[in-house]
Structure formats: structure tokens, C-alpha cells
A and B are shown apart, each in its own frame.
Chain A
Amino acid sequence: MSNLLFLIPVALGLGLLGLIAFLWALKSNQFEDLDGAAHRILDDEDNPPPA
């Protein structure tokens, strides 16, 4: 029983972390350009354009 006292908060905390990460990504426009992001990572020129 005493294990639960910290396991449940840990589980909830991890879930909450995921939720916050999702909402942060949403807020910082990470989902605005899905195609561009997919291609950008393949672009291996020496001088990447400044974001």
C-alpha cells in the first residue's frame, strides 16, 4: 500500500509531463508545418539557414 503512495504520483506526474509537452508543442507552433519539418531534417548542407 505504501508503494502506491509514491507510485501513483509518479505515474500521474509522467502523464502530466506528456500533456504539458504536447500543449507546449501546440503553443509553439510545432504542428504548423508538418511537411517542412519532415524534409528539413534531411537537409545536410553545412550552413543551415538561420531559423
Chain B
Amino acid sequence: MAPIHTQTIEFNSSGMYDLSLPSDKSSSLSPARDISLFQTKLNDGVIALDLIVANMNCAGCMSKIERHFAQNSSLKKTRVNLSQKLVHFEWQTGKTTANEIFEELTALGYQATPLMHDSDLVQAEKTEMRRLLWCLGVAGFAAANVMLLSVSVWSGATGATRDLFHWISALIALPAIVYAGRPFFQSAWFAIKSGHMNMDVPISLAVILASGLSLFETARHGEHAFFDAALTLLFFLLIGRTLDRLMKDKAFSGVRQLLAFKSNVAQIIDDEGNEVTLPISEIEVGMRVIVLPGGTIPVDGEILVGQSDIDWSLVNGEAVPRTAQPGDEVFSGLVNLSGPLEITTTAVGEKTLLSEIIRLMEKANERAPHYRKLADRAAAIYAPLVHLIALLTFVGWMLYGVSWQGSLYTAISVLIITCPCALGLAVPVVQVVASSIAHAHGLLMKDGDALEKLSEVDTVVFDKTGTLTLSKLSLSGQFFKADELLPIAVQLAKHSLHPLSRALVHSCEQPGLQTLKSEFSECELKDIKEHPGSGLRATFNGGELRVGSFDWCHINASYSQYETQDLMLWVSYQTQEGKQQIALYTFVDELRPGAVELISKLKTKGIEVQLLSGDRFAAVERMAQCLNIDHFKAEMKPDEKCRVIEELGTSGRKVLMVGDGINDGPSLKAAYVSLSPSSASDVAQVTANFVLMKDGLKSVFGLFQLAKASRALIYQNFGLALIYNIIAVPIAVFGFATPIVAAIAMSLSSMIVTINALRLNWLASSFYWQEMSSPKETL
């Protein structure tokens, strides 16, 4: 497989490298990727490729892409899937290559990412959904047809006609129940085997007993058969089950899309000195890996050649990059900023830092208390109660002198009419509505339980870098000849990926600053060099321009009193005559929009807020003061963070952990419920229960309100189900529950709880959500 990037990197003795960037800056700086690793072979030499296109939002994009590729005769098929933001390509082997297609799509202005081959897990999820839909289809068909026959019976069919209708009903209903009821029967069986009680146990019992009783009644030419009730019950419950599944699938595919953006291939140098692109999973100890500036380091290793600044923020929460030299140890997940690096792989698989974190997470998971869903907790009370009433009904009627068949009939009709149809539907409908509301406000909810748990939370623990901040620096102060030197300093800074350089460039692009003009406006920089760990240098007008650290810029020692914090950038311009002009720019890590509001809102609701960070004490303290957070801890290691969370848990607190780093993984797992931003590391995103897709934090409070409202609605639905039972049970116990009563009662209660759940939509409109665009705040 040929690598797509043939850029060669030459290291010279001082570890400097030439910054003569090719015209297309972005592609040369992003880590190399061989898209053909993601293609799949179909029959007859046809090759297929799926690309995720994140910025394809409307019908216009869809037709633009499809039309563009329709003109390309080498492609057999191009099909856009707008819901999943996927483009599917098919072509005959040799006609074109995956990389060409990828670049063509990128040239159209779309950010494409190859979709990973579906793992067995994804396949299993898909089959599961399909199976539920088949069950739903069969149950719907059978329920409609049996109801048709039942209506005829209710409207007065007697004798042989009624028997015929009952037999036809049985013929349709029994196979349909056996087929469509499996999801419930299986779940109930597992629950009983492991000694639990869940909602599926009473459901299964009611369905099986109703069918058995109806068959018995049909055989002895009885008046009542409950086939329609059993099927309608299954149909309604399957709708709930399918909605539940749909919500999970949606969240799952969202997470999958996020993860696909992460690099999963690496460039290595083989024994002959050629650059080869390999999937990360195939890298072995001792292999030499090339990491270009801007790339994520794919393995744990030791630097062989090169000097650079390394961004540790995802691994330990430090906001300021560290300098790295040959011999230094680096870990997978770090981001290389300024110079290309060659790394010898020292650990793969089990021995890496990442696996260590994953082991910590597994431990945290073992210790975490098992959560029981609200619905299952309700079932644990409800099911035994209902079964007891049915038993008492049977015994009561027997003592009264009714035959055992008659008594059994009444007892079973109690079970049928009390079957928790409304309960089975109530919880999933509320969760689906809540999940779609959350999604509309940029929050991905991975499972319904998380929402239940969130409503109980009384403590929120935040990570600092990347969670409360955007990991993006912004200009906070400028001193000395700042205005005059800014234009050339920015020109020079454009050649570096170091966060301070980028922040300087970015600050100039803000409106208002653009009008700045000085004698240096029309300037031309020559001999631009970056010295990783120190700064940039260039020749300008015969003089020397330097941007970087205090020492690098040869600033007079008398200015050292200004060297007070880490996020500072010095600029010096030494003219030909030897006159020095200096400037100083200071930066702060930009707060996420809404962070201040979120924390003050949480505090007014009596929720305790804590800050745990791996960053240095001074930075954490400053942040805590600024956001008015009383409890904070700095310089925390992953296991220490995790321990703090566990201690909070054992002291009875329900903790929401908000974090983004690899180091937050174990604490996200240990917490009662967790959230991570979409900029987070893979580990954090996979672990967290919620993913925040936007920059703004304000919506997190909206999520709290949503969780509380959902819980209230679920309780209301339980209440409605209880009222229904208070009315229905006496009717059944005294033997008045005919099939028509059961059918009406069941449908009515299902509809009421569904309508009640839909109220969440208008309740949520008044919640506290992040506006689409908000003014930037700085610390």
C-alpha cells in the first residue's frame, strides 16, 4: 500500500528544520492517512468506501456531492445517506483509488473521514434493531387482524361462528406471540435465572397465561378469548422497546462518528528507510514512527530524532506544552506541536500508558455500585403484588364455590388487565423524547439510565483543561511596543503550530484589531526558522526578529520582573544598527462559554461544585477563584482523581464527573454519571454517559432540568398506571373483565402515558440551554 504523503523531512544537526511549507499547508501538516485502509471488497472486483462527511447538513450538499460524482465515469455508484451523514462509493478495481475520491471530496469543501469497518459489535447492534422491527411488524399485523375478528365477536357473533373466529384468531395469534414475544420471554428468563425481577417477568407471564387460557376457552367453546389483548399488549410494548433501541443506536452512531475523526493509522520507517502507513494495531516494539507537527503520537515510545513542543493536555491536563528532546519518553495521545519527531516504539498493547488507564477504569467499574433502573425497581414491588392479588382471587372464588376453571379464568383475567403495559411504555417514551430534546441542544445521551441517575446528582466534579476551558489561548495583555511589532510578529507566528503562536495569530483575526497598521505592515520575512522549545527567528529588513521565550529573545535581564506566568510570548526586533525593540503578549486559557453561568446556576440549586485537575497548583487556584469554586485540588494523578470520586461516592454523594482527558477516564467510570465534551480523548468519550457536542457549557444545566422533568414525568406515569390499576383490579377480581374491557383499558392507559410523556417537549422549551452563539468570555 503506497503512502499518500511523500513529504521528506530532513533533520539537521541542531534539530532545526526548514519551514518552507508547501502551498497546501493543511494537508501537509495533518498526519498522513491512507484512505485505502478503510475500503472493503465486494463481489466481482467492486470496491466500496464509506466516508463520514460532518459538514453535510442539507439537501443542497447532498445533491452537490451526488451530481459531482455522477460526472465521474470511473465510479459505479455514489449514494448519500443524509441521516447518517455518510457517502457510499463503489467502483471497479483499478478505475480509481480511495485516496483520489477522498481528495476530490475534500476539494469540494467537505471534511470527510473514512468510516471504520463495522466491528462485530456494530453488526450485533444492527441485527438486534432489525430483529425488533421484524417482531414489531409481525405483532402489528397479527394484532390488527385478530382485533378485526374480535370486534365481530363483540358485536354479537355466537355459536359456531364465534368458535370459528376464535380458532382463526388462535391460528394467527399463537405463532405471532411465539415469534414477537421472544425479546420479552428471553429477558424475563434471564432475570428469573439470576434471581432478579424485571418488568418483563409479569409481561411474559400475562401474555403466556392469556394465550393459554384463550386456547383452553376456544377448545371448550367458551365465550371469551384474550388473543387480541395479548397481541395488543405485545405490540405496544414492542413500540416502547424499539424506541429505546433507536435512541441507543442514534447515540452509538454519534459516538462512532466522533471517534472516526481520530487518527488510527501511523507512518513508520521500515528497514529499507521507506515511509509506510500502517494501522496502529500492527505497530510492534522497536518500530520507528514519524509524527509530523500537528499529529497525535500513536504509540508509547522514546524520541530518537527531533525536537518539539508537546501538548500534554489530554493526558495530564497541563495547559502549557512541554519541550521534548531525543531521549525523552512520550505516550500515545500526546499531540506533537512544533517539529517532526521520530520515535522508537517502546511499548504496545498491554504495556502502554493507555492500557494502564484502562485497567484503572476496569477496577473503578468493578467497585461502582450496580444501578437498578427505575422501571425494574417498580417491577420488583409491582409484580409480586399483582401475582398475590391473582392468587387471592383464585383462592377466593374457589372458597366461594366456583369451579376451578372459573376461578382460574378470573385469576388470569386479573393478570391480563394489570399487565404493566403503561409501565412498559411510560419509561422508554419519556427517555426517547428527552434524548431527542437533548440532541437538539447538542448533547448526546448514550443510555436512558444516565438521565435517571443525573436527576439524583448532588455533586459535580469538573476537570480543568479542555473541560472548563477550551484548551484555546486568547490574548489578555500586551506591553511595550506591542502595537508596532504585532504585524510582523503575527507574520512570523503564522509559521508555527505552538499554541502561543496560534493564539497570537488568532487574536489578530478578531474584528477591531484588523485596522492596526504600523511601519512594518508591508514587510517580508526571510530565513524563517523554528527552534522547538524556544521560539521562531527570521530576518527582516536586515535585522533579526525573534518570537518566543524570554531567553530566546535575548531580553535584557532588567525586564525579568515581567516574567510572571507561563503563558507569555516575547517579541524582539534587533535592527541592523543594533537597536532592540521588544514587545510582550500575555495569554489566558479561554473559558468555555457558559462556564460561569453553569457554575453559579448549579450552586444556586444547592449542588456542590469541585475542581480536580492534573495541572499545576497556581493555574488551578486562579481558575477556581475566577469561577468561585471553593473545593479544588491540583496536580492530581489519574488514580488520585479516581480515588477522590470513589470517596465522594462512599460518603453517599451522587457525583457527576465532567472531564475530557485520558487521565479522566477512570474517574468518569467511577462517578455515578459522567459527561465529556466532544473534543475529549477517545477514552473519555467512550466512557462518558453524555457527550457535549458544542463548546458551550450552559446546556449542561438544561440537561439537569431535563433529567428532573423526565423523572417527574416517569413518576407521574407510574401514578397514572396506579390509578388505572385501582380502577381495573376490582373489575377483574369480581369477574367483570371481559376481553372488550381489557382491550379498551389497555389502549387507553397506553395512550394516556404516551401523551403525558410528550408534554416534556413543551416543558423543555423553557429550560436553560446554551444559545446558538454566545459572546466569548475570557478569564
Contacts and interface: CB of A to CB of B under 8 A. Distances in A.
A19 B137 contact: yes
Given A19-B140, A19-B141, A32-B81, 8 more contacts: A11-B148, A16-B141, A19-B137, A19-B138, A35-B83, A36-B80, A47-B67, A50-B70
Interface string B221-232: 000000000000
Contacts of B164: 4
B144 A34 contact: no
A42 B507 CA distance: 43
Contact of A43 (B63, B78, B145): B63
B161 interface: yes
Residue from B69, B80, B133, B137 with most neighbouring chain A CB atoms (10 Å): B137
B145 A11 contact: yes
27 contacts: A1-B161, A8-B168, A12-B145, A15-B144, A15-B145, A19-B137, A19-B140, A22-B137, A22-B140, A23-B137, A26-B130, A26-B137, A32-B81, A35-B83, A36-B80, A36-B81, A39-B58, A39-B59, A40-B62, A42-B59, A47-B67, A49-B66, A49-B67, A49-B69, A49-B70, A50-B70, A51-B77
Contacts of B168: 8
Interface in B549-579: none
A45 B67 CA distance: 10
Contacts of A19: 137-138, 140-141
Given A18-B141, A26-B134, A51 B79 contact: yes
Contact of B82 (A4, A39, A50): A39
Contact of B172 (A12, A22, A33): A12
Contacts of A34: 83
B134 A36 contact: no
Nearest to B148: A11
Contacts of A40: 59, 62
Contact of A33 (B70, B78, B82, B141): B82
A4 to B, nearest CB: 7
Contacts of B63: 43, 45, 49
B84 interface: yes
A24 B69 CA distance: 29
Contact of B62 (A4, A18, A31, A39): A39
Say which size band chain B's interface belongs to: 20 to 34
A42 B60 CA distance: 11
Nearest to A50: B70
Interface string B488-504: 00000000000000000
Contact of B161 (A4, A31, A50): A4
A23 B59 CA distance: 28
Interface in B49-103: 58-59, 62-63, 66-67, 69-70, 77-84
Contacts of B140: 19, 22
Nearest to B68: A49
Nearest to B65: A49
B162 to A, nearest CB: 12
A18 B67 CA distance: 35
Given A8-B168, A22-B137, A49-B78, A33 B83 contact: yes
Interface in B126-160: 130, 133-134, 137-138, 140-141, 144-145, 148-149
A36 B62 CA distance: 8
Task: Give 8 nearest A-B pairs by CB, closest first.
Answer: A39-B59, A36-B82, A49-B66, A19-B141, A33-B81, A49-B70, A35-B82, A35-B83
Contacts of B83: 32-36
Nearest to A18: B141
Given A8-B168, A26-B130, A51-B79, A43 B59 contact: yes
A40 B67 CA distance: 12
Interface in B163-185: 164, 168, 172
A40 B66 CA distance: 11
A1 to B, nearest CB: 7
